[in-house]
Chains A and B, each alone.
Chain A
Amino acid sequence: RKEVEQDPGPFNVPEGATVAFNCTYSNSASQSFFWYRQDCRKEPKLLMSVYSSGNEDGRFTAQLNRASQYISLLIRDSKLSDSATYLCVVNRLDTGRRALTFGSGTRLQVQP
């Protein structure tokens, strides 16, 4: 079983739609959680950290459910520029490392 699992998509949505991605992680020792965005042929860029109480950044809302070990990302009022691959990322403390484990990504295509 992969440590971080995501639905690869693609999610094809019209402009203005609301879309949600889920991600599950297998290791309960995971401590920090992030969503990264990766455009085609570009490096991943940090979209937002995910906090236990949930957090919002403009049109983006992230939620964490530790009991069920899943993370979600909600995008409201989708824009064409939101088209990208969204990577769910976790960090584990038990190994003493500060490196990140990446999911395989969910591809979003926003259509006019």
Chain B
Amino acid sequence: SAVISQKPSRDICQRGTSLTIQCQVDSQVTMMFWYRQQPGQSLTLIATANQGSEATYESGFVIDKFPISRPNLTFSTLTVSNMSPEDSSIYLCSVKAMGTAYEQYFGPGTRLTVT
């Protein structure tokens, strides 16, 4: 499986600021995703990061709040904009495993606290 890293691993941010989270994969992957896991909850898909085109957002998530870039097949960023305490969460990127239809592997996550 691919080795996935995320930066930063954690951050504490002030209300109204923005944070960009990076996801780096050690091999080319076709699909990358961004999820959110709020305290005590399961994972919720934010968007699919598409290489060379705009991300595909799930219901309840918008580009202005969560802009995503994917400039190549091994890297993506997620920005959490104009943060509020409700954005405190773990943000995880995942990739579809090569040679499989749907199995996904996750990065270690970014733990965000907004004060």
Interface residues, chain A, CB within 8 Å of chain B? 31-32, 34, 42-46, 49, 87, 91, 97-105
How far is A103 from B43 in the complex, measured between Cα atoms in Å?
A: 8
A-B contact pairs, 26 of them (CB 8 A): A32-B101, A32-B102, A43-B106, A43-B107, A43-B108, A44-B106, A46-B104, A49-B103, A87-B42, A91-B102, A97-B56, A98-B31, A98-B96, A98-B102, A99-B33, A99-B45, A99-B48, A99-B58, A100-B43, A100-B45, A100-B102, A101-B45, A102-B44, A103-B42, A104-B41, A105-B42
Contact B109 A43 (CB under 8 A): yes
Number of interface residues of B (CB under 8 A): 21
Interface residues, chain B, CB within 8 Å of chain A? 31, 33, 41-45, 48, 56, 58, 92, 96, 101-109
How far is A97 from B102 in the complex, measured between Cα atoms in Å?
A: 10
How far is A8 from B108 in the complex, measured between Cα atoms in Å?
A: 23
Name the B residues within 8 Å of A32 (CB-CB).
101-102
How far is A91 from B102 in the complex, measured between Cα atoms in Å?
A: 7
> Closest CB of chain B to A40's CB: distance in Å?
12
Additional A-B contacts beyond A32-B102, A102-B44 (8; CB < 8 A): A42-B108, A43-B92, A43-B106, A44-B92, A98-B101, A99-B58, A100-B45, A101-B45
